[in-house]
Amino acid sequence: MSDKLTVSMTINGHTYTADCEPRLTLADFIRHGCGLTGTHLGCEQGVCGACTIIVDGRTVRACLVLAVQADGSTITTVEGLARGDELNPLQEAFWANHGLQCGFCTPGMLMSATEFLKANPEPTAEEVRECLSGNLCRCTGYDSIVKSVLDAAQKLRA
């Protein structure tokens, strides 16, 4: 049996400390260790983007990172976007524009779009599509997701 390592990180403003197997992925640490199941796993291979989270300001695929690599970092998951019951403008926009169907891709889409809008507050539809081309959605055909991101961008600028 491999020796467990102690890791500690700040997720959505809370500090989580735990002993974990060296090979535990950050995604499993977040989902099982912290009970934050909003970070979804669609492929565990870095392809689908459903597990996208923000680590120290940059999007990361939580299935490709080990928990130990994230020791000491500051993380935002989808559960950290809203303030209490109050959804943030991007979440509101996804809901209002039918930017989700089954919703399984949605957390990853939201996290990718969060990082993107920070750097590109006034994006074109093509730029949004480019940004989201690493996140798979099997339900929507993407159009409503693009619309949601553009709508959020506009609201955030106002």
Partner 1 sequence: MTVIGERVPRSDGQTKVSGEAIYGVDYAEPGMLWGALLRSPVSAGRITRLDTTAAAAMPGVHAVLTAADAPDVHAGWVLRDQRLFATDAVRYEGQPIAAVAADTLAQARAAAAAIVLEIEPLPAVVDLVRAMAPDSPLVHPGWESYVPAAGPDFPRRGNIAAECIADPPGVDEAFARAHRVISDEFVAQRQYQAYIEPKSAVGIFRDGRYTVHTAHQFPYNVRDRVSQFLDVRPSAVRVVGHTIGGGFGAKLDASLEPYAALLSKVVGGSAVKLVNTRTEDLLTCPCRENALTRLRSAVDADGNILARELEVIADNGAYSGEMPWLASIALHCARGVYRCGPTRVVSRLMYTNTAPTGAFRGVNGTYLYHAVERHMDHIATELGLDRRDYRLQQLITDGAEMPNGQVLADAGILREGFDAVESVAPWAELQAGRRPYRGIGIGAAWWVTNPMPGTAVVKLHEDGTVAVITAATDNGSGAVSMGVTQIVAERLGIPPTDVFVTMPDTDVAGFDAGSQGSRTTRIVGKASQLAADEVVEKLRGVAAGLLEAAADDLEVADGTVRVKGVPGNSIPIAEVAVAATNTVGPVQGTGSFVTPFPDFNPGCATGLMFPSFPTPTYHVHLAEVEIDPVTGNVRVLRYVVAQEVGRVISPDGTYGQVMGGVTQGIGYALHESLRIGEDGRYRERTLESYRLPLATDIPRVEFVPLEHPDPDGPFGAKGVAESPVLLPAAVIANAVSDAIGAPLNHIPIIPEDVLAAIQGSAGDVRSDEEVAP
Contact residues for ligand FES, defined by CB under 6 A: 41-44, 46-51, 61, 63, 100-105, 137-140
What distance in Å separates the CA atoms of residue 131 and residue 27, rounded to the nearest whole number?
A: 22
Return contacts of 36-42, CB within 8 angstroms, 24+ apart: 36/11, 36/12, 36/77, 36/79, 38/77, 38/78, 38/79, 38/107, 39/77, 39/78, 39/107, 40/104, 40/105, 40/107, 40/108, 42/104, 42/105, 42/136
* CB of residue 45 to ligand FES, shortest distance in Å: 6
**Partner whose footprint covers residue 143, from partner 1, ligand FES, none (CB < 5 to 8 Å by kind):** partner 1
Count of residues interacting with partner 1 (CB under 8 A)? 53
What distance in Å separates the CA atoms of residue 25 and residue 121, rounded to the nearest whole number?
A: 32
**Partner whose footprint covers residue 63, from partner 1, ligand FES, none (CB < 5 to 8 Å by kind):** ligand FES
**Partner whose footprint covers residue 61, from ligand FES, partner 1, none (CB < 5 to 8 Å by kind):** ligand FES
* CB of residue 25 to ligand FES, shortest distance in Å: 9
Determine if 103 is a binding residue for partner 1 (CB under 8 A). Answer: yes
Nearest to residue 11, comparing CAs of 70, 64, 94? 70
Contact residues toward partner 1 (CB under 8 A) are 21, 31, 36-45, 47-48, 50, 77-79, 81-82, 87, 91-92, 94-96, 98, 100-107, 110, 128-130, 132-133, 135-146
